[in-house]
Structure 1
Amino acid sequence: MKFIVNKPIKLFDQIDKYDGLNNILGIGDPHVVKINNQWWMFFGGFQTNFKNNIFTASLPVGEPLSSNNWKITRSQGKPTKAKALAENSVKGSWDAFGYHTPCYASGLGIDGKEVERVYYTGRASNKVVDNQEPYSIGVMEKTPNGWIRHPHPIIKGTKESPNVLEPKARYIEGMWRIWYVTTKQETGKKGYPNYRINYIESKDGISNWSEPVPLFLEDENYYDASVHSANGIGYEMAVCRSTNLYGRKDFPKQGLWLLKGLAPNGTRENWSHAPELVIDAQNGEEWYRNGIGSPSGHYGESVEDKDTLYMFFTGLHHKRNWLNIAFDRIKQRKIPPFPSPFYFTIGKIELKKISE
C-alpha cells in the first residue's frame, strides 16, 4: 500500500474547549460510521462528574467524509450540555466509573432481527490508568426507549490478564467480530506497556464467543486494531500503540500503522507481515506528538474520492503543563482549558492511495 498523506487536521481539541459545552472536560476515542444517509461519530467524554460516558457528533445529512462540519449532539432544550447516549451506571456496578472507547455496529441479534449496538470498555476503578479494578467489555443496544445497557460484561479478562478493553466490533459476513486488548494493568506513571490484541467472534454478538486468537503479542505492543473494508477488495487494519500520557522516555514508538488482509479475522498470517507506518507521531505536530489512539477509517464514496482513506483518531498533546498552556491562552485572549494531566484532540487525516 502506498499513500499520499495529507496534513492531519483537528476536529475537536480539549485545549480549545467545545463550543460552549460545559458538561464535558475532554473527549477522544472516535468511532465513525454511516447510519442511513448520515455520518455519525461515537466518542468517549470525561464529564464534570469525573466519570466517562458516550457522546455523539454528526455531519449534516448527505455531507461526505471530506466535510469537517462535525457538530456535537446537544441535549434537547439544553444548548450547553452534550447529550450522553445513556445514564451512567449506579454505584457498585462493574462499570460504575464510566464507559470508554465506544464502537458502533449493526447486524443480526439473538432473535435474528436487525439490531444496533455500541460496544464499550467499562471501568470499575476510580483510576483511569494504574487501575485497581479490572476493565471489562460491555454493550448497549438501541431500543424505542433509547439505548439500554446490557447489565453484565460480555467479555472479561483472565486471572493472568484481568483487563480487557478497546473493543473494535464489526458485523461482517454473518458474524459479530471483535478485536480487543488484554493486559495486566493499564499503564500510566509506572510500569511498562504490556499489551496483547486478541480476536473473537460470535453468532449473536453477546454470548458463545470463540476462543480468543492472539493477533499481536506483547513484544509488538499494539493497542488498537481497527478493521475497515478496502474498497471491496479485502480489508485493511489500522493499528496504534497506547498513547504516552505522561511523556515518558521509555515508551514504545507512537504512530499509526496500516496492514492489508484478505479476510476480517485474527489470523496473523492473513495480515501484512510488516505494518506500514503512515503517521510518525514523534515527527508530527504538537497536538498528536505524544501518541495516536483509537483509529477509525472509511474510504470515500464518490468517484472523486473512492481511493481516499479518511482516518479519524485521538491525538495526545505534547504540552502537558497547565500553567504554561493557560498563560499562552490568556495571551491570545482565549479561555484556558480545565486543568488536566494531559490533553486530547480528535483529528482526521486523508490518505490518498496511489498503489498496492
Structure 2
Amino acid sequence: MKNLVFGGATGKGLAHLRNLDTVADPGVTRRDGRWWMVLGGMQAEERVIHLYAAQSSKLDAGWQIITSPDDPRQAARLAEPPPSGAWDATGYHCPSYARGRDAGGAVIERIYYASSAEWGSLYGPYQIGFLQWDGTRWVRHPEPVFTASHPWERGTVLEPNVLYDEGAWLLRYTAGLAVDGRPSTGSAESGDGISGWRRRGQPESNRFDALVAHDGDGFALITSRHPLDSVFTPEHGLWRARGGSPHGSWKPARHIVRTIDGTPWHDAGVWKPTAVADGRRRAVFFTVAQRSDNPYAPALGVGGIILGEAQA
C-alpha cells in the first residue's frame, strides 16, 4: 500500500469539515486500542497551526479525523492554542508523539513540536517545546525545552522526532533552514526530555528529517531528502536503514518513497516521516506536497506506505 491518506489537491478526508482544510506532519501510535495519528492543521488564511487527531482500526484504511461530539463537521482540536505573544504564538509546527516514563516508572505521553513567536519566515527561527497528557487533556509546557546553541544550527531547530529508549529521550531534529535553506539533521538526548540535552555525533548535511523508531529487535532510521527550491532529483524522497542501536551503526539505506516516481499526490516533495510496526508489517506515514495552481503554495497532505516482511 502506498496512498494519500488526507489532504492533497482534492482535500481527501477533509472536505466535510468546516474548520480544517490543510493537514501535515503526522505522528502515529497505538492508543486506546486503536491506531491514532496527531496532525498539524490549519484553515485557509489562518495564522496559527493547531493540533488535530485521526484514528482508525486498521493502519492501511479507514482513517478519519476526530470531530467534535456535538458537530461532525467540526474537527476537534487537541489543545488550546498558545497565548498571543508567547514564544510559540504561531502554533504547533511539525508535531512528534512520544511515549516514555518518569523517574518513578509512570507512563508519560508527549507531543513535541517546533514553533516561533511570529511569522517572519516559514523557516524560522524555531525552538522546540512540548505538550503533555495529564490523563484528561494535553497541557502545554510553558517554555521551550530545546534551542539552537551550536554554530552549525544557525539559530534555529525544528522538525523534532523523539524516541524514548532505555531511560532516555532521544531527539532527532533539523537545523539551519532560516539562514540559507540548506538543512542538516542532528541528534541529542536528555534524561527527562526537558533539560540537560546533550548533542551526540555529527550533523548530517542535506537531510530534511531524521527519525529513529523501534523496529522489531532493532531500530529503523528514516530520513527525508527534500530540496527547498523544489528542484528534484532521483535521490529525493524517503530512505530507510536498520541497525541494532538507536545511535547506529546503520546498514545501507534503501529508497522507500521516491518524490519523482510519477505519483501526482507527492510530486512536490515528501518529508516528516513517522513509523510504526503492526506484526510483520511496517508502516511509514509522511507529509506530502502536490503541485497546485499556485506555484508558491503546493497542496499539502499526508501519505502512507506499508512495507511487507520482505521489504522491512
TM-score (norm 2): 0.90
- Map residues 237-316 of structure 1 onto 2, 5 A cutoff: 237-242=221-226, 244=228, 247=230, 249=231, 253-265=235-247, 270-272=249-251, 274-301=252-279, 306=280, 308-316=281-289
Contact in 2 for aligned 1:109/1:205 (Cα 8 Å) = no
Query: Per-residue deviation at 1:251?
Result: 7.9
Query: Aligned partners of 1:171, 1:69: CA distance in 2, in Å?
Result: 28
Q: SS of 1:185's equivalent?
A: helix
> Can you list the C-alpha shifts for 1:177-210, whole angstroms capped at 9, x where unaligned?
1111111517xxxx5x322211111221111122
> Aligned letter for 1:278?
I
1:236 correspondence with 2:220: yes
Name whichever of 109-118 and 154-163 sits farther off: 109-118
Counterpart in 1 of 2:117?
Answer: 124
| Displacement of 1:145 | 4.5
Whichever of the two has the greater Rg, that structure is: 1
Change (3 A) 1:16 1:183: same
Aligned equivalent of 1:195: 183
Partner of 1:336: none
Q: Which one of the candidate residues 287, 292, 301 is aligned to 1:345? A: 301
Distance 2:233 2:264 in 1: 17
1:98-117 map, 5 Å:
98-109=91-102, 112-117=105-110
Change (3 A) 1:35 1:94: same
**1:154 and 2:142 correspond:** no
- CA 1:280–1:140: 2 relative to 1, 3 Å: same
Quote how far apart the aligned CAs of 1:155 are: 0.2
Residues 243 and 286 from structure 1, CA distance in 2 versus in 1: closer, same or farther, beyond 3 angstroms? farther
TM-score scaled by length of structure 1: 0.79
Cα distance in 2 for partners of 1:294, 1:159 equals 23
Corresponding residue number in structure 2 for 1:333: none
1:258-284 CA distance string (max 9 Å, x none) = 11111012x5xx123x42212221123
What is the count of residue pairs matched by the alignment?
Answer: 307
5+ long unaligned stretches in structure 1: 1-5, 324-339
The answer on whether the counterparts of 1:255 and 1:277 sit within 8 Å (CA) in structure 2 is: yes
Residues 171-250 of structure 1 aligned to structure 2 (within 5 Å): 171-185=164-178, 191=180, 193-210=181-198, 212-218=199-205, 221-232=206-217, 234-242=218-226, 244=228, 247=230, 249=231
State whether residues 99 and 123 of structure 1, in contact with CA within 8 Å, keep that contact through their aligned partners in structure 2: no
> Residue type matched to 1:222 in 2?
R
Distance 2:300 2:227 in 1: 10
Q: State the partner residue of 1:89.
A: 82
Counterpart selection for 2:293 from 318, 321, 325 = 321
| Shift in alpha-carbon separation, 1:82–1:214, aligned structure 2, 3 A | farther
Q: Structure 2 stretches of 5 or more lacking a match?
A: none
Deviation of 1:158 (Å): 2.6
- Cα separation, 1, equivalents of 2:311 and 2:74: 45
Identity %: 28
Give the Cα separation in 2 of the matches to 1:250 and 1:236.
25
The answer (yes or no) to whether the contact 2:160–2:174 under 8 Å persists in 1 is: yes
For residues 159 and 238 of structure 1, what CA distance do their matches in structure 2 show? 24
Pairwise CA distance, 1:15 = 2.2
1:28 aligns with 2:24: yes
Residue 83 and residue 355 in structure 1: after superposition, are their counterparts in 2 closer, same or farther (change >3 A)? closer
5 Å-filtered alignment, 1:6-45, equals: 6=1, 8-17=2-11, 18-45=14-41
Cα–Cα, structure 1 residues 113 and 354, in superposed 2: closer, same or farther, change >3 Å?
Answer: closer
Give the superposition deviation at 1:37.
1.6
Q: In 2 relative to 1, CA 100–228 (structure 1 residues): closer, same or farther, beyond 3 Å?
A: same
Post-superposition CA distance 1:24-52 (Å, at most 9, x none): 23101111101142110011112353211
Tell me which of 129, 141, 150 is aligned to 2:132.
Answer: 141
| 1:176 CA displacement | 1.2
Q: Secondary structure at the match of 1:167?
A: strand
Residues 221 and 240, structure 2, Cα contact 8 Å, conserved in 1 = yes
Contact in 1 for aligned 2:226/2:237 (Cα 8 Å) = no
Instruction: Check whether the contact 1:315–1:345 (CA below 8 A) recurs between aligned residues.
Output: yes
Question: Equivalent of 1:53, from 45, 50, 67?
Answer: 50
Please tell me whether the aligned partners of residues 104 and 117 of structure 1 are also in contact (alpha carbons under 8 angstroms): yes
Match of 1:287, SS state, is helix
Structure 1 CA distance, aligned partners of 2:6 and 2:167? 35
